[in-house]
A and B are shown apart, each in its own frame.
Chain A
Amino acid sequence: MRYLIVLLFTLPALADEPKPRLTVQPKLCIVDKRTPVCDVTFDVEWTSPVAGDYCVKRLDDDEPLRCWVEEDAGQVDDQRPVSKTFRYDLQEEGETRVSTKVEILKMDGEDRRRRRRTRHVWDVL
């Protein structure tokens, strides 16, 4: 009975365990044939309710952008040209705790027929 009471008090606490947060600005970038790559500085910020050893890593990279030791928040700027949707991961001891995607919107796709203007009354899309 004593264990059951402990479990009843522990479970909600486990379920509500706050997770780290990872925010990236900008989260959307537009490219076209005139500007085929998005060459901006991404502002990556994270916070965690528990201090720990964290790293911010881009999914396609072998090495993390930056790591922190016994910290509960951090920020790093990442400047690089990108042309495909990608994501940043916040990792703790090599394990991804939270991810945030940066979307690349291509205004000129491979199929130029998708960009044709119709004789549609409005053709606003």
Chain B
Amino acid sequence: MFVTRIAILIVGLLCAYAPLALADDTSPWRLGIAVGYGERSNPLVAADDISLLADIDLAWFGKRFYFDNGDVGVTLMNNDKFTLSLAARANSDRVFFGRTNSRVVSLSPDALPTGAPTNLQITVPDRRYAIEAGLELLADGRWGRLQASMHHDISGTHDGFELSADYSVGRRFGRLYVEPSLGLNYKSKALNNYYWGVAAGEANPLLPASVVGDGFNVRTSFRAGYYLSRRMALVVSAHIERINSEAAASVIVAEDTVKGYFAGLSMRL
């Protein structure tokens, strides 16, 4: 299975490309689908990686309002230099908690109080989606593209906030278009602690209570597409994100990086 996945990735890389968006501003709608294979690792203990066979892209852009794959926004300013919007979204950290399971661990009786059970279950505590709203700034030019945002929880889930900035630049090579990017996220203590900490009520001998502070996530990604036509491209995408040290040190986190890839065929309808 591993060899198959690597082969798919290599074929995707060889065939290559993808940025991303068969751009066409004539319709307010953007509807597309990518079929192929991809995976995203799950940094949580006792959790499964996330597999992907198809990715649907559904968006609508009006003059003021937009909907983009679950994000909604209202544009406040738009000019040649930048676009500023008020945007709302669901927090992305929650996605990992939808793939958790339980794992039974046997402990030596010597390590436990007398009479305590020696077989314990590691169960990652559940977390809710937070609805976050804030400002989003988009700017582009010959120098590339910048996306900066600040979002605060408006759902009373974690009461924290997140700042993020992404820079990307595209290059074309005939029908091949590549787009590497770099990103930085600041996650406040309240946000980080809600998702990655363990509350006193959730603690057990295997998952002691822990408080997680704020921190920066750093990520880089690479997307490439080889365009067969305006509406169809062979695409490959790879992504790696280093989780902030506070969250990575949490007892419910097994890996300090999140890695993902996807290779397939993208079609714009």
Contact = CB atoms under 8 A, between A and B. Distances in A.
A113 B73 CA distance: 10
Contacts of B50: 121
Given A107-B21, A109-B25, A115-B140, 18 more contacts: A26-B174, A34-B170, A106-B24, A107-B172, A107-B177, A108-B23, A112-B140, A113-B73, A114-B61, A118-B68, A119-B89, A120-B55, A120-B69, A122-B52, A123-B237, A125-B21, A125-B32, A125-B235
17 contacts: A28-B230, A35-B172, A105-B23, A107-B177, A108-B23, A112-B83, A112-B140, A113-B61, A113-B85, A117-B147, A121-B50, A122-B34, A122-B38, A124-B18, A124-B262, A124-B264, A125-B57
Interface of B: 18-25, 30, 32, 34, 38, 40, 50, 52, 55, 57, 59, 61, 66, 68-71, 73, 75, 83, 85, 89-92, 95, 136, 138-142, 145, 147, 166, 168-172, 174-175, 177, 181, 223, 227, 229-230, 235, 237, 260, 262, 264, 266, 268
Interface of A: 26, 28, 30-35, 103, 105-125
B242 to A, nearest CB: 17
B18 A33 contact: no
A54 B175 CA distance: 31
